[in-house]
């Protein structure tokens, strides 16, 4: 499959490397599933189903993929196991194209006419939320965008301090009221600062607690309402950060947060350290929320905009 648009050789190599553990695990399981078999029959499909589920693609998405392959087998009458890689690749690509996961421009573009563009970032503690915000800020700043950060996770001193460090590192202002302060006041001041500066984008961190859905919902609703006093249509994006290495737990977190607030985009982190990269396929399919960013390494450049065709290409690359 050819490279698409602005997808650079370096970025592609990073993506290939970041998905190595997932790919090796997947093909190892797939190889065992079809050993000694020459045709794709019911027994092989049962094994492929187990491989997809154990690769954290998720039950619902796996059932869809198997159903698509069954239809092809019925139509073509004969299908050899040597064709299975290609067929799986085609059907997974088609599935990602069928839902609303569209490719994001590779240059971290911001929508025209939304200035400052307000991103509210949500997710549980430990998923890489603050790091993702720092890397996003670095990517935008590198492209000449003026960025403001809001340290709205005021329940953890570490989160506030970490965001300040990222601000210093990248060279962008961080609005902070310290720990145990009102997160909505931080969000208000950050959006106000960004508006006064005529900044391009403001990114607001929020608390990563899932103590009860109702408290989380109330807190996020209040932050939105207060930001809207400055920018009536804020936030323009609610970005949910999920840790890809947690596999099925990421599905649970996505379910909880989509109940608590209107999530409009996803960032799936830590894919380089896990064999559970199939979670990207399942989550993008089941939640019909665009996967906008994926984390495939430690470096700033390893936070990539998600390109579904390149992802599938790297997933199946041997």
Per-residue pLDDT of 122-169, as tens digits, reads 999 889 999 999 999 999 999 999 999 999 999 888 999 999 999 999
How far apart CA 78 and CA 3 sit, in angstroms, is 32
Q: Where are the domains of the chain?
A: 1-98, 117-310
The CATH number assigned to the domain with range 117-310 reads 3.40.50.300
244 pLDDT tier (thresholds 50, 70, 90):
very high
Of the listed ranges 67-81, 202-216, 237-251, 292-306, the one predicted with least confidence: 202-216
108 pLDDT tier (thresholds 50, 70, 90):
confident
**CATH class as words, domain 1-98:** mainly alpha
Per-residue pLDDT at 208 = 81
Q: What is the pLDDT of residues 39-79, one digit of tens each?
A: 888 999 999 999 999 999 999 999 999 999 999 888 887 77
In 10 A of CB 222, how many CB atoms?
Answer: 14
| Binding residue positions for GTP | 123-130, 205-209, 269-272
Of 206, 71, 98, residue with least CA distance to 150: 206
Per-residue pLDDT at 212 = 63
Per-residue pLDDT at 77 = 75
| pTM greater than the 0.85 cutoff | yes
Name, of 90-94, 153-157, 256-260, 267-271, the range with top average pLDDT. 267-271
Of 202, 163, 201, 207, residue with least CA distance to 181: 207
Please state, for a pLDDT cut of 70, what percent of the chain lies above it: 93
How far apart CA 295 and CA 58 sit, in angstroms, is 20
| Centroid of chain to Cα 272 | 13
Of 261, 297, 257, 253, residue with least CA distance to 277: 297
Q: What is the DSSP letter of 127?
A: S
Of 176, 186, 192, residue with least CA distance to 230: 192
Per-residue pLDDT at 34 = 86
Per-residue pLDDT at 316 = 87
| Binding residue positions | 123-130, 205-209, 269-272
5 pLDDT tier (thresholds 50, 70, 90):
very low
The mean of the pLDDT values for the chain is: 89
Per-residue pLDDT at 1 = 33
Average pLDDT over residues 86-113: 77
Distance between the two ends of the chain, CA-based, in angstroms?
A: 13
């Amino acid at each position: 499959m050819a490279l698409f648009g602005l997808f650079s050789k370096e970025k592609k190599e990073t993506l290939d490397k970041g998905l190595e553990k997932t790919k090796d695990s997947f093909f190892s399981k797939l190889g065992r599933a079809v050993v000694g078999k020459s045709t794709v029959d019911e027994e092989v499909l049962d094994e492929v189903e187990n491989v997809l589920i154990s690769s954290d693609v998720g039950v619902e998405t796996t059932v869809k993929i198997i159903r698509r392959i069954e239809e092809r087998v019925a139509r073509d009458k004969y299908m050899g196991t040597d064709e299975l890689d290609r067929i799986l690749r085609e059907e997974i690509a088609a599935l990602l194209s069928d839902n609303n996961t569209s490719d994001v421009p590779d240059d971290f573009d911001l929508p025209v006419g939304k200035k400052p563009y307000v991103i509210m970032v949500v997710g549980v503690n430990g998923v890489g939320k603050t790091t993702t915000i720092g890397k996003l800020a670095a990517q935008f700043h590198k492209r000449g965008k003026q960025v403001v950060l809001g340290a709205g996770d005021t329940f953890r001193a570490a989160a506030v301090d970490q965001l300040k460090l990222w601000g210093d590192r990248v060279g962008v202002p961080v609005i902070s009221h310290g720990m145990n302060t009102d997160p909505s006041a931080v969000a208000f001041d950050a959006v106000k600062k960004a508006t006064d500066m005529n900044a391009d984008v403001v990114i607001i961190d929020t608390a990563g607690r899932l103590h009860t859905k109702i408290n989380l919902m109330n807190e996020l609703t209040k932050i939105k309402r207060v930001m809207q006093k400055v920018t009536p249509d804020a936030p323009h994006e609610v970005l949910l950060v999920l840790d890809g290495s947690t596999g099925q737990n990421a599905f649970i977190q996505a379910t909880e947060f989509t109940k608590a607030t209107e999530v409009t985009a996803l960032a799936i982190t830590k894919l380089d350290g896990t064999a559970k990269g199939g979670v990207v396929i399942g989550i993008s399919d089941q939640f019909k929320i665009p996967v906008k960013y994926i984390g495939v390494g430690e470096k700033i450049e390893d936070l990539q905009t998600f390109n579904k065709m390149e992802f599938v290409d790297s997933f199946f690359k041997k």
